[in-house]
Amino acid sequence: MLKPNGTLARLLLAALLVMCAAAPVHAEEATPPAATPAGDVSGDESLPASDEATIDDSADAAPGDTREPVPIDDIRVLVEVFHKIKKDYVEAIDDKTLIENAMRGMLAGLDPHSSYLDPEEYLDLQEGTSGEFGGLGIEVGMEDGFVKVIAPIDGTPAQEAGIQSGDVIVRLDDTPVKGMNLNDAVKKMRGKPGTDIRLTVVREGEEKPLVFTITRALVKVRSVRSRMLEPGYGYIRISQFQGPTGDDLRRHLRDLKNEAGDDGLRGLVLDLRNNPGGILGAAVSVADAFLESGLVVYTEGRIKDSQLEFTAKPPDLLRGAPLIVLVNEGSASASEIVAGALQDQKRALIMGRQTFGKGSVQTILPMNNRAALKLTTARYFTPAGRSIQAEGIVPDIVVDKLKLAARASGNSEVVKEANLERHLVNPEDAVEVDVEDDADAAEGDDDEQPLAERDYELYEALNMLKGMTLLQARSGNNTTATAP
């Protein structure tokens, strides 16, 4: 029989408080304020209720009290483990470290996305969702004890070094990743701007591990970028969902419309490839920009605060103009919310490859010690009731990951009617055109690499967008075909 000393008594009391707090509150108690959604909006499964109680305190409970019985025998085992570690471990270890490790273990055992954040890690998370932090610019998760890359963030050292979605990081400098928890791995990758770190990664299709030496930098994530692909056809890239992403998207849409002039936008490509997710509210705001009405996403969890619905409000900022969303295996969480909503509402055509499949919501729960819990509190569902957890969004049109190379010109030029001697002149042409000279001139003026070679998936999306625009116009339904 253990004789609890002061430390053990305090631990027992703390454990009892934890177990009581995990149970539903009394009906007459005040409902705690809703927690703020975390930077990630996906995960695995909600916190399970304990069904291993050995003491039932329901007889002393107030009417309507539905709290789970406290598993006092299990708490005694926890105290015994604590006592044996303190007494027999090869090195002395302080109470605070043991208790913090126990909290980390409780959360790490739930799913890959729940974790305990100490004050420093909590601050890092806030910096990440606000758009500025020091490090490599890479979104990662744990898989089989290793750190797996969900996606590198646009314009960051990780992307510029060649890190790709799906890479498995097995070593950080000389330290093996196996056995390291995710928070420790992230902490090691972050550091003072200007310092180097060496990443050893295993990549599918490569025979040997790849080694990257990357210089850390102050990462300022500009989550929204835009440009015109061709006159009337716009492109918006969202690299991460941050607090201001919805407002930034609307600003970029206005700029594209102004650039399109009187003809307006005829269509838009929304690029969510390698977007690891972000804030739930930002995802809802982006989807809402292209919908007149209807459900965007809903969440379901064990507590009332986790049962939410988000609906769209007018106007559709594109006024019905064709919309294509590009996704791939690095599109996760908030990206999947946007793609799923626009797909279910039949507002956009989804192109690319099957997405990551991270279909749950993490909530940040601040603690009194300035730390926080990042806890999976709900699953989210698309408007059609689909859960994409571990499944992902399946594109309407699959575009394989290909890279095109220009064919050597040589002597393989195609001969056309206009190249033949004594060919008949088209009566509608006022002047006969020298086709060969014009082709040479055009080739000389265009020094930029063709879009098909730079980004084959975007090239295919643009072609599809043009086809959708033509089909819409020829079907007679062109009253809302452009966004002025």
- Residues marked active site are found at 333, 344, 358
Cα 380 to Cα 301: distance, rounded to the nearest angstrom = 9
Q: Largest alpha-carbon pair distance within the chain? A: 109
Cα 276 to Cα 241: distance, rounded to the nearest angstrom = 8
Q: Of 377, 343, 342, which is closest to residue 361 (Cα–Cα)?
A: 377
Q: Name the phi and psi angles at 222, rounded to 5.
A: -95, 105
Residues 6+ apart with CB under 8 A from 316: 289, 290, 291, 292, 347
Read off the DSSP letter of residue 446: -
| DSSP H helix total and E strand total for the chain | 12, 20
* Residue 398 Ramachandran class (φ > 0 left, ψ -120 to 50 alpha, else beta): beta
Element (H, E) at 45: none
Cα 28 to Cα 62: distance, rounded to the nearest angstrom = 10
**Residue 40, burial from CB neighbour count under 10 angstroms (0-12, 13-18, 19+):** buried
Give 367-380 as a DSSP string.
-TTS-EEEEEEEEE
Q: Of 283, 396, 309, which is closest to residue 347 (Cα–Cα)?
A: 396
Residues 6+ apart with CB under 8 A from 349: 322, 323, 324, 325, 396, 397, 464, 468
Residues 6+ apart with CB under 8 A from 293: 311, 312, 313, 314
Is residue 416 within 8 A of residue 435, CB to CB? The reply is yes
